[in-house]
Amino acid sequence: MTDDALRYGSAGVDLKASEAAKQRIRKLVESTFTAGAVGQFGGFGGMFRVPPGFKKPVLVSSADGVGTKLKVAIEADRHDTIGRDLVNHCVNDILVQGALPLFFLDYLAFGKLNPAVVEAVVAGVAAGCRANGCSLVGGETAEMPGIYTPPDYDLAGFIVGCIEEKSILGPHRVKPKDVLVGLASAGLHTNGYSLARKIVAERLKLGVNDAFPELNASVSDVLLSEHRSYLGALKPVLDSVHAMAHITGGGLPGNVDRAIPASLDAAIDTSSWEVPAVFRILQSAGNVDRAEMYRTFNMGVGMVVICASRDVESVLAAASLAEVPAWVLGSLRPGTGAVSLS
């Protein structure tokens, strides 16, 4: 090879690091395989058997990321929880239609690939998959110099679940006298981080290792609190549920409206729960308008369940058994599909 000959490495791509990363995550991926998984680690495509016993199975899919919460993980050099956030977020997104997860794929992209960081992130993804009974059947780890600046990286997830067609949940099942039940979040989950990070850095003047006001925890501890999965709390009572809303970007107003028909309004009683301190502190430090807070953050409500009044107690009991706080959040009334906060 002549002196002026180029190699892939001279363009910033390290094939040895890529191979090292693959070897680090092999056992993690294989630890998630359920009975439906087909094939071995390293195939060009992930394979999964369609579950038996369905008369008219419908596959439900979703793709998502964790927003700029990822930046907190990078700044804190804590990469083992962000993968669980990703899986739990995606599981909740298909759960609102009643689907149970089958398999998951992840996408990781680096400016300069770091095998140890890859392993930590995938360890979190694998842990999330195991906890939700979901197989991690494949994914992609890319090194893209010039697109990402080290130590930054990007992370996305793709999930597929299944449900019997006649059991699909949604606005078409909601009745005028149904009740809204709220299930507590475990912090910010994965939304509102661009605003939260701005308030923490510019108004509170805090770094990720500093103490968060009032909470006896560091900034990174508070902001990296895990996005809660509601599968365990709601799987036992899915037959009693009419519709659900996963409270992500847009908050309660921007998500509950997706779960109700155009002929009904949802009236949410904000006095029915105590907003967690982290939101109160962010609102005060940032001088954020109340309506803006409820549009940006979940404000302590991670999932809203809509069910008949006769089924409220069973939903509350299932949540309690899973150690997820739950309460009656509001009601429905004739209207135009709007959400009001009182």
pLDDT tens digit sequence for 215-232: 999 999 999 999 999 999
The CATH H-level (homologous superfamily) assignment of domain 171-341 is PurM-like C-terminal domain (3.90.650.10)
Write the DSSP symbol of residue 273: S
Concatenated DSSP letters of 86-146: HHHHHHHHHHTTTPEEEEEEEEEEESS--HHHHHHHHHHHHHHHHHTT-EEEEEEEEE-BT
| pLDDT for 27 | 79
The pLDDT > 90 percentage for the chain reads 82
At 100, give phi and psi (nearest 5°): -100, 140
- Half-sphere exposure (CA, 13 Å, Cβ side) for 227? 32
pLDDT along the chain (342 residues), means of 10: 54 60 72 81 79 93 96 96 97 98 95 91 96 93 92 96 97 97 97 97 97 96 98 97 97 97 97 97 97 97 98 98 98 96 93
pLDDT at residue 305, rounded to an integer: 98
Residue entry with tokens 């110099």: 145
The pLDDT score that the predictor gives to residue 16 is: 63
Convert the pLDDT of each residue in 81-124 to its tens digit.
Answer: 999 999 999 999 999 999 999 999 999 999 999 989 999 999 99
Cα 64 to Cα 89, 92, 272, distances in angstroms: 8, 11, 30
Q: Report the distance separating Cα 288 and Cα 303, nearest Å.
A: 23
What is the model's pLDDT at position 6? 43
Query: What local confidence, expressed as pLDDT, does residue 20 receive?
Result: 64
Q: What is the pLDDT of residue 3?
A: 59
pTM as predicted: 0.91
Residue 15's pLDDT is what? 55
276, amino acid identity: P
Tokens of 327: 């309460």
Picking from 159, 176, 171, the residue whose alpha carbon sits closest to that of residue 241 is: 171
User: Residue 207: which residues within 8 A CB-CB, separation 6 or more?
Assistant: 75, 201, 219
Of 99, 95, 66, 67, residue with least CA distance to 83: 66
Q: Is 219 exposed, middle or buried (0-12, 13-18, 19+ CB in 10 A)?
A: buried
Parts of the chain belonging to CATH 3.30.1330.10: 11-166
Cβ–Cβ < 8 Å for 66, 85: yes
Check if the beta carbon of residue 265 is closer than 8 Å to that of residue 335: yes
pLDDT value for 37: 82
Contact 168, 89 (CB under 8 A): no
From residue 125, give the alpha-carbon distance in Å to each of 91, 174, 306.
Answer: 12, 34, 30
Of the CATH numbers 3.30.1330.10, 3.10.129.10, 3.40.50.1950, 3.40.190.10, which one belongs to the domain with range 11-166? Answer: 3.30.1330.10
Which structure tokens are listed for 27?
């056992």
The boundaries of every CATH 3.90.650.10 domain in the chain are 171-341
* Amino acid identity at 340: S
Looking up tokens 């630890």, which residue turns up? 31
CA gap 21, 122 in Å, rounded: 10
Residue of 117, 76, 88 lying closest to 217 (CA atoms): 76
